Every structure is written in C-alpha cells, then in structure tokens.
Amino acid sequence: MQTCCAPRSLHTRTWVALLLACFVAVVSGACGTADFDPQSVVDSVRLFAVSADKPYANPGDTVTLTALSTDARASKPLPLTLYWIPVVCVNPPQDLYYACFAPDAGSGAGTAQLIPTVPLTDADAGGGDATKPGGALGQIPTGVDVSSLLPQGPTFSFRMPDDAIQSHQGGTQYGLAIVFNIACAGRVRFAPLDPSAGPQQVPILCTDEAGNKLEPRDYVIGVSRVYSYAGQTNENPVINGVTLEGAPVDPVAGITLDHCTAAKNADCTAVKIDVDVPDSSWELNPNSGSENLHEQIWADYYSDRGHLENDARLLFDTRQGRIDDSGNNFRPFKDPGDGDLWIVVHDNRGGVAWTVVPVHIK
Amino acid sequence: MRFALLASVVAASWTGTSYAQRGILTQPKEEPAPPPAPVVAMPVLIKDAGAVYPAQAIKDKVRETVVVVLVLELDARGAVKNATVETPAGHGFDEAAIEAASKLEFVPAKKGGVPIASKIRHKYEFAPPASRIVGRVATEPRDKPLAGAAVTVTAEDGTAFKTTAASDGSFHIDGVPAGNYKVTIGAQGYAAQSYEQPLDPGEEATIDVRLEREAPPPPPPAEGEDIEEVQVHGQRPPREVTKRTLEQRELQRIPGTNGDALRAIQNLPGVARPPGLAGMLIVRGAAPNETSTYVDGTVVPMIYHFGGLSSVIPTEMLDKIDFYPGNFSSMYGRVTGAIVDVGVHDPVVKDDRKIHGLAQVDLIDARVVAQGPIGNTGWNFAIAGRRSYVDLWLKPALEATGAGVTTAPVYYDYQAMVQRSWDHGKQDFRLFFFGSDDRLNILIKSVNGSDPGVGGNITFGTSFYRLQARYIGKFSEDTEFRLTAAFGKDAVDFSIGDNFFVVTSWPITGRAELSQRIAPGVRNNFGFDMYDAPYTASVRMPPLPTPGQPPAGPFGSQPPLQTTASANISSPALYDEVELTPFRGTRIVPGVRLDYSSDTRAWDVQPRLVVRQEISSEFPKTTLKGGVGRFTQPPQPQETNSVFGIPGLHSSVANHYGFGIEQEVTRQIDFSTEAFYRQYDQLVVQQVGNTGSGYAYGLETLVRYKPDAHFFGFLAYTLSRSVRRDSPTDPERLFAYDQTHILTAVGSYRLGGGWEVGARFRLISGSMQTPQMYGFYDATIGAYMPLSAYPQNGVRDPMFHQLDVRIDKTWNYSWGRFGMYLDIQNIYNQANVEGISYNYNSTLSTHATGLPILPSLGVRAEL
C-alpha cells in the first residue's frame, strides 16, 4: 500500500529523510487512512505463498515449488486451478521480474534467460512479433486458451541452470530463477504486449470461457524467486505449532470459538494467536558481512472466519532476535461457520513455511 | 563659469623685430629728426561678459579644466577685430572662447599717448561646472525620515564633502567637482551604505537611501518600537541600494511556521510546498538535492530537523537569509538549482552592555538564547540551544501501536559564538560552533503485510557540527578580504531490518574572497572555494531504483548490495566576478566559475552574467533585471559508486535564463515579477548514466506591503512547469516536484494593546502521483506488487488549500518582555490530499489526507 508520503525517485539522503518524515506522519496520525479490508481478510481467490524446498539452490539442483492457495469466493462460477508458466526466467536485467516478458527477453546478453520446462509444441509460434512476450514465452500464442498446455497443481519443479550464478550489479555473484504461476478460477490466456505502454505489463490473463478477463477476486498471478549462491544454503523456517492464549492448538481439530455478538468488530472478544518458531530457524545471514546479522522472520496471518488485528507480526528481528510479544489478536466473525486460519512464516532470504488451522465459529 | 584674463603682452615685449616683420604693430611713419622713443601702453580690458561653458563639453563629459588661448586683434578703439585660437581644445571650447572674445572691450593700446591697433594674447580657462548631490535618508522599511544621518562624499584624491540630513531626511551638497565619488551614508544604529557615484559636470545627482538597522533585533518588537529585521533577498546583489526584504517580524509572525524564519522561506515565490511533513526545499521545480544550503558561506547537509518541524538554526540568531532561486553568483556552485545562505549575526551587545537572553517554549520544542559582551575584553559571545520533546507524546503513541521504542524521535541543535572587532571595525574575527542532531530508534513489531521489509528494528540518526572561523579585513576603501573556513562532521546512521546506511564524513570547507576596486565603476571579486570531505561509508541496501522504472519488488525483496568505502571527495573551485557600474543605475556582473570534482575528475567551466538596469532611479523606482548562466552539479557518491552506481559520470548541467522587473508602487508596496527558464542536460539517471534531460519554466510574482506600524503582508504567486526525461528515447514526464500554481497570501495586523493577528492562505496545485493497479503477487515474500501507470507522474492530487491563523499577545515589563502565541494550522480543517492510499492489492484506492487542524501554543520570555 502506498502511504500518503510514499517516496518517489529520490536520492538516498532525501529518500531516507522522506521515509522518516512519512513514518512520523503516519504514526502520529497526520495522514488520513482508508478503511479498507486488510490483507488478512480472505474472501476471494488467494495465493498465500510459494515455498521452495531449497530456497538457496545450488546450480544443477532440482527445485520443487509448492503453492498455498484458496478460493474463498462466495460464488464460484468456475473452479480454482493453479497453473504454472512452464518457463523459468533466469537472471533478468536488474532482477526485474517483468523484464522476463520483454519482447527481447532471452535473445542475448543483458536479457533474461528463458528456459522452457515443458515442450510448447501445440503453440502457434509467433516469433518475430514484438507485441508478444519474448523468447520462449514468445512461442505461446496470444489470445488463445493455453490452459491445457500449462502444468497444473500445487507443485512445480525445475532445474537450476548450471551457469545460473552470474555477476549482478556491484559485482555480486548469485543466480536468480523466477517462476510465474497463476491461481485462476477460469482459463489462462496470454495477452499481447502494448509497445507504447510502459515496461511493466501483465501478459498473463485469467478469463472466462469466452475469453473475457476476470476480476481480481478471481485470480492471482504469482511471482516466485529462488536464489543460488555459491556455497550458501538456506533452510525454510520451522513451525512447531500454533498456540491459542498460550495453549497448543491441535492442528486437526483447530480452533473453536463463539461468534461475535458485538455491533462493532473492534468490540468482539479477541483471542491471542501465536505461532511457535524455534530459535534454530533464526539463521545467520552470511551476506551481512561484519555486521553478523541474522534473518528477519515474520508471520503473515489470513483467515476467512475472523478479523486479525495485524496482517503480519514480527517473530525475529535481525539484530534483537526473538520478539517476546509476537502474537496476533483474532476476533471471530459475527456469523457462525467453518473456515481456516492460514499462518505463513517467511524469512527475508526466501524461506517460507506455513500451517493451516481449521477455525470453527459457533 | 570662471575665466581669467591673461596678462597681455605687447608684441615688442616679445621681440620687436619679429612683430615689425610680421606687421603686428602699426607704427607712425618715421620723422626726419629722431625724437625721443615714444611710450607704448598696453591695452586694458574694461568689459568681459565671460565665456559660457560649452554644452558639447558637458555632453562629452569633459571633467578636466581646459585652457583656450586666443590671439586677439584690437583696433585703435579697443574693439576686437579678430580672434583666432592658438591651440584648439575641441568639445566646443574654441567656439565658446571666440564667442566670448568678440564681446570684449579694451582701452586701446597707445603709443606716445596715441591709440593704436594691437595684437595680444588672451586666455580663457574653462573649469567644469560644479555638480550637486541631493537626496533623502529614511529608515528601511518604514521610510521614516532619518534626521542627522551623516552623508560623506569622498573624491578619489581623498577630498571629502560632508553634510547631515535635515529633519525631513533631505540633504544636499553643492559645489562638488565632476568626478568619481564614493558616497557613504550612515546613522547611529543603522548600517551605513556606500556606493560609487560618478558625477558629470553640472549634474545634480539624486540619492534616496533607506538605511537598515545595524544590529539584529531583539525579538518581536513591542508596538510602536522600531522594527528589527532579517533580510530575505530575492536575488543578488546586496550591494544594491534597494533590496527585497522580509522583516523578522514577518518571519516570526507568518502563521503556520511557528515563528521559524527558515520555514518562512517556503512562502516565497518559486518555492513549492513539500509533500506531507517532508522538510525539503523545492525551488523552481528542482529536486531538493539540487538546492544547497549554507550557514554564512559554509555548506551544511541539512537545514530542517526531521519532518520539517523546525530549522537547525534558531530565528533569533539569524541576521539575514540570502535566497537565490536561480542565476546565483559565481561564488556559489556545485548545484544546478538554488542557494540558501543563512547569515548568522554577531553577538548583540546592547547599550547597557549586559547579557541578555530569551527562552521560548511551545508544543514541539524549547530553546534559549543568551548573548552579550565578555567583560571588557572586547570580545562578545552568543550561545543558544534547542531540544524537541516530540518524544514525550510520540513515544506513548508509538508504543500504543505495538512498537517498541528505544529512542523516541528527538532532535536538538546548539550554537556558540565568540566575536571581536578591532581597528575601528575594519577588521573582524569570529568563531562559530554549531550543530544539529536528530535520532530515533524503534522496533516495529506489526509488520506491514504489503511491505514486510519495512519492519523490525529501525534506527535513524542524522547529525552534523561545524567549527567555523571567519575573518573580514577592510584594508582600504577599495580592498576587502573575507575568509571563512570550517571543519566538522556529518553523520547519517540509518538501518531498517538488515539494511543499513552509515556514512560519516569530515568536511573541510573554505572560502577566500578578495574584493578589489580596480577602477571607477569596476570592482573585481576573486575567490577560492574549497570543499574537501574524507568519508567512510558502510552501506547495505537494495539497489537504488532507476527513475521511471517500477521496482523489482517490495522493499527488501532483492538481495541487498553492500559496500564499505573510505575515500575523499575533493571539489576545489575558483571564481571571478566583476561588478561593472558604467552608468548610474546600471549594474553588469559578468562572472565565471571553475569547479573541479574528484568524482568526475574534470573541471566544469560556468560563465554567468547578471544585469540590472534602473529605468527610473527616483521614487517610484523601476528596475529591469536579467541573467543567464551555466550551472553544474557533480554526481553524488552513490551515483558513481561502483556497487550502487556507475563510475565515470559527468556533472549534470543546467542553463538558467531569467528576466524580470521590480517596481515600487507606493512607499509601502513593492511589485516584482520574474520569468525564468531552465534547461537541464546530462542529468544522472541511476544505473544508466548521464542520459537525463529536462526543463523548467515559470513566472514568479510578488506584491508586498512592507511592514508599517500596523500591518504587513504579501501576495506571492508562481506559475511553473517542470519536465524531465530519463533518456532521449523515453517520453517526457512531469517531474515529481512540478506544481503548476503556488499562491500564498500572508497578512498580519497589530490591533493594539500587544495583540497581533495574522493569517496565511495557500492555494497550491497538488503533487504528482503515479497511479497503480492490480498486478502481481510476490509469493516468496508474501506481498502484492502493483502495476505502475506509465509514464509516471501521470495524475495530480487535487488542489491544496489551507488557512493558518496566528494570534500573538505581548506584555512589557520592567525586566523585559513576555509573549504568548497561538499558531493554528489548517483552521477550517481542510482534508487536503497528500497522496493516494491503496488497499493491499491496489484494487481499491482513496485519497490520503494531510494534517488536520493543528494548534500550537507557545510562550516566550525576553530578558
């Protein structure tokens, strides 16, 4: 979300000053805020996370991605399917994920390396058309239903190229593989690029059967990053369990709460939810040099059965370590029903883990 | 005019032979018997009306005394039969002499008692007609007659003519020979003014002068007292007789500024409103880092504490603020935008030679100032300090949001000065130590789900200090030397999560300027300007974004770049500027500046020219002004750093063009307007190179009612447009700091009884925004990434308008003065748009609004 004082293209000193000014303004209530539903309220197609079994993969490793998604729409004309774009985009310029779709992508030095993972033999190759996504993506015809050509399901595997590790800005050596997927309650089509539009375009469409583009509540286009550093590894965080008011929660039985009877959500009785992540997940970040900083770890919360006080809570700080009061307040909806509480734990080096807790509102 | 009769000489008195041979003397025929030699009597002048000083000579500005020698042929009656010029002098002198000679009458020469014809020499001496200087001396800005003001007119040979102003402020000095003079006008308690005044023969020069208070003021004057002032000059040169000024009363009483003089700059024409609470100076559509701020010639890294809540130098220590929105002098450089040079006054010593002070407290901060003499040592001192207590209310507010607060936002600044003058004020030395510190340290436990990288431990600290030494030596009336040197420390310490930006530098700055009058109407200013800053930097941050390019992901989603560097920035410069005053009311200032940058390893040559021409020197005065110049700005370290930027960049370039007029409307009302155009080239685009370009143009207008006993106010309006392009193949886009209309109206009225009420109204175009839409989801980090509209800055926020009101009440006591003020910003609680707020996936948006009604109460005591 862009705040009222969001920085634009500024030089560092100005950027820092503006950020602080923005912070002061925001926390002191200087800027007006909108009463939007927070990210944690789930009432649409959502893609929560994609985890890699090897967040830092070695060149030549096979990496398996697993996605966590849901369909919380009240009405579901078409079912949700998770599609994967079968092209791995390696080392796009300046790590810009949208550069993978550039017309010249995959065509030489300084562009993204596009590696197909499955043959796109049924595609009507449109090579040479500058309005089409570049390289291997350019082989996919635009405007036609390609759903059947795309891998589907919660997992997707690819091989990190042997030459993935390359020099990036400032001489930093690493490899970056970007994989796109789309959680779509419809059919997938590719869209032509508009040459007069800016560099950031969306060439992937989620449409109904007739080819009409669906609303944002019906799809999410995901971007997943997997890095490769020579001699470095990273483990996904570990979730030992979830606690409710300090007590462990049975992962199968889940949480059972009375529905809220108060007029306002804020007046509903809150329960404290927390997630137990062991100290061993707080890994040292070897790239922090002499600072010897550790990872930053936080938990994203989502639910379709209640309101969470915060979208995300800090679990471990890079410098201060474990945060003592990392829990989140959960207030059930006014209507009874069954649903879920999704808790996704991230570290700032691409590590992801999650747990899904059933929620029963009486 | 004067003329003189030369002793006539009879031809015989030279050589009788030669005269005889040439028949100059007519002699009677010889008689057979030689009688005794006859007695020859010289002709005697009996009537001379005098010669008229020729108009041609006045036109030709002949200032020397000219002698014309005539040879007159007189008949036997004594009348001039013929006159010839022996040595022509030109400029009409010969004709004037002949014309005068034709009317001469003589008693004829006689020989033996008999009148005879004769031939004589006659000389006319033409001295230039005397000139006259008249004028009026009054106080600035109230135009009150300043009786007794001393007026001294000094010739080049040291001859002085003196007088004093009468009760109505008028004065006159008669009988001043033509020539070049230095006119000095001064009065007790007022700063003397001197300037060169060429006088042509017979000319009557009129000089109307307004003298300003010599010492900076004791804070807000009680009703009816004389007004002290801080000057804010719209442009150079301060050597002009008239200046655009804002009084300290204005600076302290402009509503919405809490009496902060530097924040009052933001009301001047050409200065845009910064977004939100950002403490930035945006001048003529330029980026904030294209404006440089100085304290008495020493560059400082910041002028405002964070959030723009307050400036780093208290108003009470300010002597003047020179604000150059463009076309600034060659003495300034290294930026392509504008210059703010804050002048700090010497310690104020009152007549009682006691130490005086003041204290002020409001809801934001508290400050104290003390100053006076150090015994009878001849040294004077000033000391001041300020500390905010935002932390007292912001810390609980932050903790209520769940944040852990180690150091709540706090800032302070400090100043200490010792100063001494000697040699009757011709030499002056001052040491000034000043600094500022801002910091906070918090732990954000509630991570922003849309940008998880902005969370965790956040520290922010900026600080700087300077020890500045200044020497001014006036070695003669023609020669002045100024030396300002300083060293200090700048520090930025910023960290967020595992990203950090820690930079410490120890800048050494110096400026030496020799000002030498080398001829009448010609003064040369030659200077050396040094900036040398060893620094250490330890930075770990995501790559800096390229302008016009949507980010690669949320903050912290990219592997950070890291660098540790220890290097030196060296930027010496030479400049030379010539002030030419060939005619009265004309000032032409050509100059050139040469800047070297260790980053570019190149010299930047920057020629500049400023011209001012008074169309009418009398009230109401009209002045045309214009300027053109080249200004360069070396790339910043992060732009040339091998990790974050691109080595080998060049300086960016801006060519400034400006033309305007200043017009006195009444004694109280001034009007000025200026059109400007700037052309930018070689702008640095991060990670790309010197590929950027752009332009800005506009019109600035100021109508000002200068303070009188009851009222002050001004109306400032700027119409402008600022455009940038990141490369020749990219489309032009409005720059992020473009604001089309900026209208500011300020007025304050003294009601009597110590009450004063004022208001400020602003009507300003909204800031530029780049709309964003539903796009992608970063499934690795768990945040949506919006699509950014292209090109950026495609929409503008709605018009900003706000009314601020200020009420002051002052009580006078035997021990000093006590005052209270209530400064209410946004009194009608307008929900001004400061940006666009989006929901988590950018499918919904609304306007984010700025400050609601915000009262601030302050008290102030002066001893």
Q: Say which of B550, B776, B834 has its CB closest to residue A223.
A: B776
Whether the pLDDT of residue B163 is over 50: the answer is yes
- Single-letter residue type at B365: D
Q: A199–B790: do the CB atoms touch at under 8 Å?
A: yes
Instruction: Give me the pLDDT at residue A241, please.
Output: 96
A67 contact B CB<8A: yes
φ, ψ of residue B285 in degrees (nearest 5): 75, 10
B561 closest CA partner among B593, B538, B535: B538
Each residue's pLDDT tens digit, B730-753: 889 999 999 999 999 999 999 988
Is residue A293 pLDDT above 70, yes or no? yes
A234 CB neighbour count, 10 Å cutoff: 20
Token representation of residue B788 = 């950014």
Three-state DSSP at B234 gives coil
In this prediction, residue B2 carries a pLDDT of: 35
Q: Do B443 and A170 touch (CB under 8 A)?
A: no
pLDDT reading at B14 higher than 50: no
| Residue A164 sits at the chain B interface (C-beta within 8 Å) | no
CA neighbor of B792 nearest in space, from B733, B737, B862: B733
For the segment A158-184, the average pLDDT, to the nearest whole number, is: 93
The answer to whether the Cβ–Cβ distance between A1 and B780 falls below 8 Å is no
Q: CB-side exposure of A94: number of CA atoms within 13 Å? A: 19
Instruction: Return the pLDDT at B633.
Output: 96
Q: Are residues B57 and B201 in contact, defined by beta-carbon separation less than 8 angstroms?
A: yes
Domain B11-126 = CATH 3.40.50.720: no
Residue A329 has pLDDT above 60, yes or no: yes
Inform me whether the pLDDT recorded for B234 exceeds 50: no
- B441 part of contact set with chain A, CB < 8 Å: no
Contact B498 A8 (CB under 8 A): no
Tens-place pLDDT, residues B630-646:
999 999 888 888 888 88
What are the sequence ranges of the domains in chain A? Answer: 1-36, 45-228, 241-361
Rounded distance, CA B386 to CA B774, Å?
A: 47
The answer to whether residue A165 scores a pLDDT higher than 50 is yes
Tens of pLDDT along B260-274? Answer: 777 788 888 889 988
User: Using a CB-CB distance cutoff of 8 angstroms, which residues of chain A are in contact with residue B829?
Assistant: none
For residue B91, the Cα-to-chain-centroid distance in whole angstroms is 43
Q: Which residue has the tokens 């250490």?
A: B536
Q: What pLDDT was estimated at residue B596? A: 95
Residues of A in contact with B850 (CB under 8 A): 4, 30-32
Residues of B in contact with A353 (CB under 8 A): none
B449·A300 Cβ contact <8 A: yes
Please give the pLDDT value at position A130: 47
Q: Tokens at residue B805, please?
A: 């009101």
Q: Which CATH superfamily is domain B131-211 in?
A: Immunoglobulins (2.60.40.10)
Put simply, the chain B residues between 262 and 321 with a CB less than 8 A from any chain A CB are: 275-280, 287-289, 301-302, 306-308
B418-458 tens-digit pLDDT: 999 888 778 889 999 999 999 888 888 888 877 887 778 88
Res A136 pLDDT > 70: no
What percent of chain B is predicted at pLDDT more than 90?
Answer: 38
Asked if omega into B791 is within 30° of 0 (cis), the reply is: yes
CB B540 within 8 A of CB B498: yes
Label residue A200 by pLDDT band (50, 70, 90). confident
Element (H, E) at A328: strand A328-332
Most confident of A165-169, A240-244, B401-405, B793-797: A240-244
CA distance B58 to B199: 11
Chain A with chain B: Cβ pairs closer than 8 A: 317
Nearest CB to B445 within list A49, A325, A352: A325
Which superfamily is assigned to B261-862 in CATH?
Answer: TonB-dependent receptor, beta-barrel domain (2.40.170.20)
Chain A touched by B410 (CB under 8 Å): no
What backbone torsions phi and psi does residue B158 show, to the nearest 5 degrees? 95, -10
pLDDT at A178: 96
- Tally helices (H) and strands (E) across chain B: 7, 53
Residue B393 near residue B399 (C-beta atoms within 8 A)? no
CA–CA gap between residue B180 and residue B196 (Å, rounded): 7
Give the whole-angstrom CA distance, residue B283 versus residue A313.
41
Confidence (pLDDT) at B37:
63
pLDDT band at B278 (very low <50, low <70, confident <90, very high): low
Question: Within the 731-760 window of chain B, which residues sit less than 8 Å (CB to CB) from chain A?
Answer: 736
pLDDT value of residue B380: 94
pLDDT at A26: 41
pLDDT at position A245, please?
95
Over residues B342-361, the pLDDT tens digits come to 888 889 888 788 899 999 99
pLDDT at A27: 40
**Residue A238 sits at the chain B interface (C-beta within 8 Å):** no
Closest CB to A25: pick one of B276, B445, B772. Answer: B276
Q: Which two tokens stand for residue B587?
A: 């000032």
Task: Pick from A97-101, B85-89, B312-316 the range whose average pLDDT is largest.
Answer: A97-101
User: In terms of Cα–Cα distance, which of B450, B456, B457 is closest to B554?
Assistant: B450
User: Which positions in chain B touch A344 (Cβ < 8 Å)?
Assistant: 782
pLDDT of residue B220: 43
- Quote the mean pLDDT of chain A: 85
Q: Which residues of B touch A50 (CB under 8 A)?
A: 779-780
Say if residue B244's pLDDT is above 70: no
* A35-39, A130-134, B666-670: the lowest-pLDDT one: A130-134
More confident residue, B235 or B586: B586
Task: Over range A36-55, report the average pLDDT.
Answer: 95
pLDDT score for B335: 95
Of the two residues A295 and A133, the one the predictor is more confident about is: A295
* In chain A, alpha helices (H): 12-27
pLDDT of residue B276: 65
Query: Residue B249: what pLDDT?
Result: 65
Q: How far apart are CA B242 and CA A174, in angstroms?
A: 64
- How far apart CA B245 and CA B231 sit, in angstroms, is 5
To the question of pTM greater than 0.80 for the whole model, the response is no
pLDDT at residue B482 in the model = 93
String of DSSP letters for B495-563: EETTEEEEEEE--EEEEEEEEEEEETTEEEEEEEEEEEEEEEEEEEEPPPPPTT---SSSTT-SPPEEE
Q: How many CB atoms lie within 10 A of CB B378?
A: 11
Kindly tell me if the per-residue pLDDT of B651 is higher than 80.
yes
Question: Residues A255, A245: contact at Cβ < 8 Å?
Answer: no
Residue B63 CA from chain centroid, whole number: 35
**pLDDT interval class at B402 (50, 70, 90):** low
**SS3 category, B159:** coil
> Cα B281 from chain centroid?
17
In this prediction, residue B259 carries a pLDDT of 72
Contact A351, A57 (CB under 8 A): no
Q: How do residues B544-589 score in pLDDT, each as one tens digit?
A: 877 778 888 888 788 888 888 899 999 999 999 999 988 878 889 9
Look at the domain A241-361 and name its fold.
Answer: Immunoglobulin-like (2.60.40)
- Measured CA to CA, the distance from residue B831 to residue B584 in angstroms comes to 53
- Give yes or no for residue B801 having a pLDDT over 90: yes
* Residue B656, min C-alpha distance to chain A (Å): 23
Torsion of CA A302, A304, A307, A312, to 10 degrees: 0
Place of tokens 């109230």: B142
Q: What is the pLDDT of residue B216?
A: 44
Q: Identify which of A140, A144, A132 has the alpha carbon closest to the alpha carbon of residue A105.
A: A132
Q: Which two tokens stand for residue B18?
A: 């030669």
Average pLDDT rounded to a whole number, residues B796-825? 91
Instruction: Indicate the pLDDT class of residue A131, thresholds 50, 70 and 90.
Output: low
Cβ contacts of A290 within 8 Å, gap of 6 or more: none
| C-alpha to C-alpha distance for A228 and B14, rounded to whole angstroms | 117
Least Cα separation, residue B669 to chain A (angstroms):
38
Pick the closest to residue A349 from B549, B447, B497 (CA basis). Answer: B497
- Local confidence band at A53 (pLDDT 50, 70, 90 cut-offs): very high
Domain boundaries, chain B: 11-126, 131-211, 261-862
Confidence of residue B410 (pLDDT cuts 50, 70, 90): confident
Q: pLDDT at residue B217 above 80? A: no
Q: Considering only CB atoms, which chain B residues are within 8 Å of A313? A: 445-447
DSSP label at residue A123: S
Coil/strand/helix, residue A99: helix
Which chain B residues are closer than 8 Å to A307 by Cβ? none
> What per-residue confidence (pLDDT) applies to B403?
67
Averaged pLDDT score across all residues of chain B: 84
Longest alpha-carbon distance in chain B:
146
Q: What pLDDT is attached to residue B300? A: 92
Torsion of the alpha carbons at B238, B239, B241 and B247, rounded to the nearest 10: 20
- Whether residues A319 and B851 touch (CB distance < 8 A) is answered with no
pLDDT at A5 over 50: no
pLDDT interval class at B33 (50, 70, 90): low
